[in-house]
Amino acid sequence: LVVMFSLQTLMAQNYDESKVGNYRLPELLKTQKRKTVSTIKDWEKIRRPEILNLFENHVYGQVPKDFDDIAFEVTNLDKNAMDGKATLKEVAITVTRNQKSVSINLLMFTPNKAKKPVPMFLVINHRGIKTMDITRQNKDGFWPAEEVIEAGYGISGFDVIDVSPDDKVKFREGVLNQLYPEQLEMNNGMRALGAWGWGAARAIDYFEKDKAVDAGKIISVGHSRGGKASLWFGAQDKRVAITISNESGNSGAALSRRNFGETVERITNHFPYWFCPNYQQYANNENKLPVDQHMLIALIAPRAVYVASAAEDLWADPKGQYLALTEAQDVYELYKVHTNLPAEMPDVNEQIIRPHIGFHNREGKHNMTPYDWQQFIQFADNYFKRH
Ligand code: GCU
């Protein structure tokens, strides 16, 4: 009994602000050689590549960029979808390396009223294909296609199962076994979250060829585990104009050193296959991490980033996500983008829109909802007016 009790105490997550404790974040603007970074040049030439490397080697694993061939085939086209309001396309994206291939089924709607190529929301979807019902019989608020089309944007997505199934064992099926088996041998090799972002990058490869899409205005969206993948993807791929993280929490937008909600120990225990094996060593050892998650957000700068939280989703630590965002501002400042976020997290349902940075903490539970999407659209409207 005593043993069980102490085990449970060990595993329990903290939800008490007074028990968060003190922590010191790794310095964003100090290079490994202890040089202070104060110019865009030093950031782009030295510090940014260093931080990218640290995330590859210690958290998510590297993301291979090479393959032999990529082919796009439109397998379904309906110019009269949504009662004539939208065009539906299904695109089979087939990527080949060393004679083996993987196919991603990309789903997309674009608004028919658009007079020019549209900005495109791209969802890294771990909730299954049913949430993106192309017949639109099932209108899931997680992927509110009608509202997005009405607002003049395209909406798209793919099921992560096509690249790396969200499963402890099966995650290897897909790009890891087929295209990059050597990654599985490496302690800093790609795993599921990296693979999902890799899939999103292939979707952008397609958008660059589709005249209905403005490939300079891609908005990456992910919820929770998908939000972690979206941030890691947006951090690496400069073709992403706006990176959206919805309630990504631990190993996403939330600071790992804050002892609040989910921890590195809990996540690496339950979801080891999301991260590279090296990440395991930071379980109950966050202070040894050479990075924290504010540095992931900073890699996105000066491109736009939006972090959404939900007030009842304490597991994802809304305050920890907000603090990470405020810490990342220093890099935006290097680019003369003045974001001036308030030091305190804004009230529930109060949206913060700054040039290049957005945030809200919606009332309610862990989910991605039409309310969240309305905020994303407002933010994108505002950002694309200037970019
Ligand atoms: C679990 C996991 C989180 C993750 C979430 C989700 O709760 O612990 O890290 O974000 O699932 O993807 O919904």
Q: State the distance from the centre of ligand 1 to the C-alpha of 81, rounded, in angstroms.
A: 33
Block residue for tokens 């970074």: 37
Sheet containing 69-80: order of strands: 69-80, 86-97, 100-111, 154-159, 118-125, 213-223, 240-246, 304-310, 357-362, 352-354
Q: Give the strand pairing for 154-159 and 100-111.
A: antiparallel
DSSP assignment of 265-290, as one string? HHHHHH-GGGS-GGGGGGTT-GGG-S
Could you tell me which residues are beta bridge partners of residue 70?
95
**DSSP state, 36?**
B
- E strand or H helix at 70: strand 69-80
Judge contact between 336 and 344, C-beta under 8 A.
no
Q: Which among 232, 256, 262, 273 is the best mutation to test ligand 1's pocket, defined by most ligand atoms within 8 Å of the CB?
A: 262
C-alpha–C-alpha distance, residues 369 and 52, integer Å: 31
C-alpha–C-alpha distance, residues 183 and 62, integer Å: 8
Contacts of 25 (CB under 8 A, 6+ apart): 255, 257, 292, 294, 327
The number of the ligand 1 atom at minimal distance from the alpha carbon of 224 is 10
For 76-92, write each residue's pLDDT tens digit.
Answer: 999 999 999 999 999 99
What's the pLDDT at 371?
98
Neighbours of 178 (CB within 10 A): 18
Does residue 366 have an active-site annotation? yes
Q: Which among 142, 168, 224 is the best mutation to test ligand 1's pocket, defined by most ligand atoms within 8 Å of the CB?
A: 224
ipTM: 0.99
Q: State the distance from the centre of ligand 1 to the C-alpha of 184, rounded, in angstroms.
A: 23
* Cα end-to-end span (Å), the chain: 61
Block residue for tokens 């959206």: 244
C-alpha–C-alpha distance, residues 43 and 50, integer Å: 9
Contacts of 352 (CB under 8 A, 6+ apart): 341, 342, 346, 358, 359, 360
The number of the ligand 1 atom at minimal distance from the alpha carbon of 126 is 12
What's the pLDDT at 3?
56
Q: State the distance from the centre of ligand 1 to the C-alpha of 366, rounded, in angstroms.
A: 9
pLDDT tens across the length of the chain (387 residues): 555 555 555 568 999 999 999 999 999 999 999 999 999 999 999 999 999 999 999 999 999 999 999 999 999 999 999 999 999 999 999 999 999 999 999 999 999 999 999 999 999 999 999 999 999 999 999 999 999 999 999 999 999 999 999 999 999 999 999 999 999 999 999 999 999 999 999 999 999 999 999 999 999 999 999 999 999 999 999 999 999 999 999 999 999 999 999 999 999 999 999 999 999 999 999 999 999 999 999 999 999 999 999 999 999 999 999 999 999 999 999 999 999 999 999 999 999 999 999 999 999 999 999 999 999 999 999 999 999
Pocket of ligand 1 (CB under 6 A): 224-225, 249-250, 262, 267, 315
Q: State the distance from the centre of ligand 1 to the C-alpha of 207, rounded, in angstroms.
A: 29
What's the pLDDT at 269?
97
- Buried-exposed string 75-86: b where 16+ CB fall within 10 A, e elsewhere: eeeeeebbeeeb
Q: Which listed residue (101, 103, 366, 387) is catalytic?
A: 366
CA nearest to 241, candidates 160, 330, 327, 154: 154
What's the pLDDT at 12?
81
**What residue type is 371 in one-letter code?**
Y
- Buried-exposed string 271-284: b where 16+ CB fall within 10 A, e elsewhere: bbbbbbbbbeebee
What's the pLDDT at 315?
98
The number of the ligand 1 atom at minimal distance from the alpha carbon of 262 is 8
Q: Whose CA is nearest to atom 13 of ligand 1?
A: 224
What's the pLDDT at 251?
99
Q: State the distance from the centre of ligand 1 to the C-alpha of 230, rounded, in angstroms.
A: 14
Q: State the distance from the centre of ligand 1 to the C-alpha of 74, rounded, in angstroms.
A: 33
C-alpha–C-alpha distance, residues 385 and 387, integer Å: 6
The number of the ligand 1 atom at minimal distance from the alpha carbon of 226 is 12
Q: Which listed residue (156, 164, 220, 224) is catalytic?
A: 224
